[in-house]
Homo-oligomer: A and B are copies of this chain.
Amino acid sequence: MKSFIELDDLAGDRLEAVLARARELETRRVTDDLRGRTVALLFMNPSLRTLASMQAGVAQLGGNSFVVTAGQGSWQIETRDGAVMDGDAAEHVREAIPVLASYGDALAVRCFARGRDLAEDLADGTIRTMASLSPVPFINLESAAAHPCQALGDWKTLDDVGVPRRGGRFVLSWVYHPRPLPFAVAASALAMAARRGMDVTVLRPDGYSLPEPVMARAARWAERAGGSVRETADREDAMDGAHVVYAKSWAAPAFYGRPAEEAPVRAGLKGWCVSEAWFRPAAPGARFMHCLPVRRNVKVTDEILDGPRSVVVRQAGNRLHAQKALLVEMLGGVGR
């Protein structure tokens, strides 16, 4: 596997192998799998968990990493092909990617959605171009349309806390956020749950359906894995028997790239903040998941985050184990 752009890049058996290795690395934290290897980390957008867990993970595997943050101590980086670069960006990905790759044995990049054109962002062309420009193994640390390291850690988290694969009821719920957000985490969580064979419900207000390609891919996975995918605006119905609620906010597709037009609709949806009341129809001990960072008392109440339902810290912790397993899978055997 030369590039890890989305969870699909880990075909059936390899996904299970990576999950198995993640479990192993959780108990045996320090190894020398990456001894002498350098991992380049490029962040075009803010990060806490990814920034920290990639550095910690590479070091714990005996390797080295370095971080370049576009626009923060480094140049602003242009991603558009053919741009006449007479604005703020001094550097183009067509140079930055091969250069950074040349200093390392792998390159991992975060580059969020541009947020202007829905089809463009869903096609995830920027991260795919970056991967194609890298002569070394490439890892997506969240792109316009996918956050596969998160999905990997989330899969492990569901396993850890005993949420069933087949028959497990997974609710991906839209929640309020002051601004329209991209689809990357929602799309990856949805595909992950569907591939896991769960019965998946997307709970969202009217007008906030996930884009058709996102739903269609999840449906294909559900069919293959023996689960199901549906969507609804009815919370009671969605939560009925749910084992887990995965909260995430996203943009209204019809207003994509025009946040001012979406604002009045969005303003009426502040009630979409997960609270204990949501869990009344859920399965006993149902869990709350979120990729973090989370806006407390906006997307979810303190009560949930500080209570026994929340596995958000475990999800974040699993980022470390999952990414280390992925790095070993991608780099462990090369050139040793």
A53 in contact (CB, < 8 A): yes
Q: Say whether, besides A46-B74, A60-B38, A100 and B298 are in contact (CB < 8 Å).
A: no
User: Of B55, B64, B81, B298, which is within 8 A of A56 by CB?
Assistant: B64
Bound-state Cα–Cα, A25 to B300, Å: 48
Bound-state Cα–Cα, A40 to B298, Å: 28
Q: What count of chain A residues pass the 8 Å CB interface test?
A: 62
CB–CB A316/B95 < 8 A: yes
Bound-state Cα–Cα, A249 to B176, Å: 44
User: Of B104, B292, B320, which is within 8 A of A91 by CB?
Assistant: B292
A59 in contact (CB, < 8 A): yes
Q: Say whether, besides A48-B96, A51-B68, A293 and B91 are in contact (CB < 8 Å).
A: yes
Bound-state Cα–Cα, A257 to B21, Å: 52
Chain A 92-106 interface residues, beta-carbon cutoff 8 Å to B: 92, 94-96, 98-100, 102-104
Interface residue stretch chosen among A82-90, A136-144, A208-216:
A82-90
Interface residue stretch chosen among A1-9, A112-120, A274-282, A305-313:
A305-313
A220 in contact (CB, < 8 A): no
A240 in contact (CB, < 8 A): no
Q: Say whether, besides A95-B305, A313-B95, A36 and B47 are in contact (CB < 8 Å).
A: no
Q: Say whether, besides A91-B292, A297-B83, A312-B95, A38 and B59 are in contact (CB < 8 Å).
A: yes
Bound-state Cα–Cα, A121 to B149, Å: 39
Determine how many copies of this chain the complex contains: 3
0 or 1 for each of A141-169: is its CB under 8 Å from B? (1 = yes): 00000000000000000000000000000
Bound-state Cα–Cα, A200 to B306, Å: 45
CB–CB B296/A92 < 8 A: yes
0 or 1 for each of A245-273: is its CB under 8 Å from B? (1 = yes): 00000000000000000000000000000
CB–CB A98/B313 < 8 A: yes
CB–CB A40/B66 < 8 A: no
Using CB atoms, name the residue of chain B closest to A60.
Answer: B38
Bound-state Cα–Cα, A103 to B321, Å: 9
CB–CB A85/B48 < 8 A: no
Nearest first, the 6 closest Cβ-Cβ pairs linking A and B are A59-B64, A91-B293, A55-B66, A85-B295, A30-B36, A69-B73
User: A30-B36, A90-B295 provided; 6 other pairs, C-beta below 8 A?
Assistant: A72-B73, A82-B297, A86-B295, A94-B306, A99-B292, A99-B316
